[in-house]
Copies of this chain bind each other. A is one copy, B any other.
């Protein structure tokens, strides 16, 4: 009793006392983190107290996000190295937490269905369009347009959307959007298209279009994608574009008509 005999645990017992799985212990042997203990007559590994302590420390480091490759070094590092490594680990954990918190915010927005990969401002703008009574179809088209633009130039989007929201206080803009919305489901021979084209041509004439800027021009390919996504998605819109051209308008690529903002950043036709 004066010299207590150290217990020789099997791998399952050792794993249990350390709070890890049997497979994890074998894995640590394979990775060289924990030396293979002696075997008994049956070929079973037999673990001592120090092995359990090492297992607990390996588990703690690993759970703190330290890759096993570094755990090996750290187990036998002096306090100086250890402190440096710990500082690095803390920075990584901080970054990871910030990343997840950002994603949580994104996911919360995402509950609305729109917020997926879109800034809050854009989601609010889309809700504004809904509030004006515009159809889900046109809102979806707007949303997809903004998805494309946001993926490309995320930083500019906030400014652009501010301009759009302001424009939406102008009753003329609202009338234009409603007219375009009405056109979306028209057949090309629908007589309403002629009336809508007349209205739009008149509205466009009143609007001098001074908001064009070229801070971050979108490249031609992206503009073509946006056009395809907007005009190309509706036979009514395609025909409306033709009618507007007949009235001297230079095409859908003008800002107020497409419902996306891409064209605002090209000089009017």
Interface on A for B, CB 8 Å cutoff?
1-7, 9, 13, 17-19, 48-50, 52-53, 56-57, 59-61, 63-65, 79, 82-83, 86-87, 89-90, 93-94, 96-97, 100-101, 103-104, 106-108, 110-111, 113, 116-117, 144, 147-148, 151-152, 221-222, 224-229, 231-232, 238, 241-242, 245, 251-253
In the bound complex, CA of A48 to CA of B224 (Å): 10
Residue pair A241, B2 in contact (C-beta under 8 Å): yes
Residue pair A96, B100 in contact (C-beta under 8 Å): yes
Q: Which listed residue, B56, B93, B227, touches A151 by the CB 8 Å rule?
A: B56
Identical chains in the assembly = 2
Residue pair A113, B147 in contact (C-beta under 8 Å): no
Residue pair B101, A147 in contact (C-beta under 8 Å): no
Residue pair B82, A107 in contact (C-beta under 8 Å): no
Chain B: minimal CB distance from A1 (Å): 5
In the bound complex, CA of A160 to CA of B244 (Å): 84
Q: Which listed residue, B5, B144, B222, touches A53 by the CB 8 Å rule?
A: B144
Known: A60-B117, A100-B100, A117-B60. A17 touches B228 (CB 8 A): no
Residues of B within 8 A of A242 (CB): 2
Residue pair A221, B117 in contact (C-beta under 8 Å): no
Q: Which listed residue, B4, B48, B57, B86, touches A107 by the CB 8 Å rule?
A: B86
Residues of B within 8 A of A93 (CB): 100, 103-104, 107
Residue pair A228, B5 in contact (C-beta under 8 Å): yes
Residue pair A152, B63 in contact (C-beta under 8 Å): no
* A–B pairs, 14, beta carbons within 8 Å: A1-B245, A4-B232, A4-B253, A6-B232, A19-B151, A49-B225, A49-B229, A57-B117, A64-B110, A83-B113, A86-B107, A93-B100, A97-B97, A100-B100
Known: A224-B4, A228-B7. A56 touches B241 (CB 8 A): no
Residues of B within 8 A of A148 (CB): 17, 49, 52-53, 56
Known: A4-B227, A147-B53, A228-B49. A104 touches B90 (CB 8 A): yes
